[in-house]
Amino acid sequence: MKSFVAWVLLLFVSSLASAQEITYRKHIRPLWEDKCERCHGSSAPYLGTFEENKKEYEKDDKGPRMDSYADLIFFIGWPDTGAIMRRLDDGKNKKDGVPGNMYKRLGKNEEERQANLKLFKQWVGEDAWIMKKPNEITKEELMRIKTPY
């Protein structure tokens, strides 16, 4: 009986854990501060400026700035649709099977990278984790994007 109660309790707790909503403020922001901020923070240029002088910024380990909620979802929904998905994917969702070049930034080892990729995927929405570019994506696919604040 005791073990049955423990089992039910375990089921309950694990369903709570899996139902937990992944939000920008609680999960993604701290992860971003840890793994992305040093190159995409407030000292980095906005995408337009970055593109005017890409080579110089890259030399300095600076990518386009994405240091707020709005600036980050710019690289998910619109106008730089799917950039986060294409860069962070481990290759499993890409036609060429090659991981995006920011995948390695997600962690020090494969276990950490996979755990952090999972958080990003859950935040964007598993069925919205699409590699398509702005001229390829459909409105229906765009509407699947979740990214709760």
Q: Is the dihedral of CA 119, 120, 125, 128 positive or negative?
A: negative
Nearer Cβ to ligand HEC, position 6 or 60? Answer: 60
Q: How far is the CB of 39 from ligand HEC (least distance, A)?
A: 3
Residues that bind ligand HEC in the complex, under the rule CB under 6 A: 35-36, 38-40, 58, 61, 63-64, 75, 80, 83-84, 87-88, 101-102, 105-106
Q: How far is the CB of 25 from ligand HEC (least distance, A)?
A: 16
**CA 138, 28, 89 angle in degrees (round to 5)?**
50
Nearer Cβ to ligand HEC, position 75 or 123? Answer: 75
Could you tell me which residues come within 8 angstroms of residue 132 by beta carbon, excluding any fewer than 6 positions away? 81, 82, 141
Q: How far is the CB of 55 from ligand HEC (least distance, A)?
A: 10
- Helix ranges restricted to H, the chain: 2-19, 29-35, 37-40, 47-52, 54-59, 69-73, 83-88, 110-124, 139-142
Q: How far is the CB of 19 from ligand HEC (least distance, A)?
A: 25
Q: How far is the CB of 139 from ligand HEC (least distance, A)?
A: 21
Nearer Cβ to ligand HEC, position 97 or 107? Answer: 107
The Cα–Cα gap between 108 and 10 comes to 31
CA nearest neighbour of 39 among 70, 21, 66: 66
Nearer Cβ to ligand HEC, position 20 or 43? Answer: 43
Nearer Cβ to ligand HEC, position 12 or 33? Answer: 33
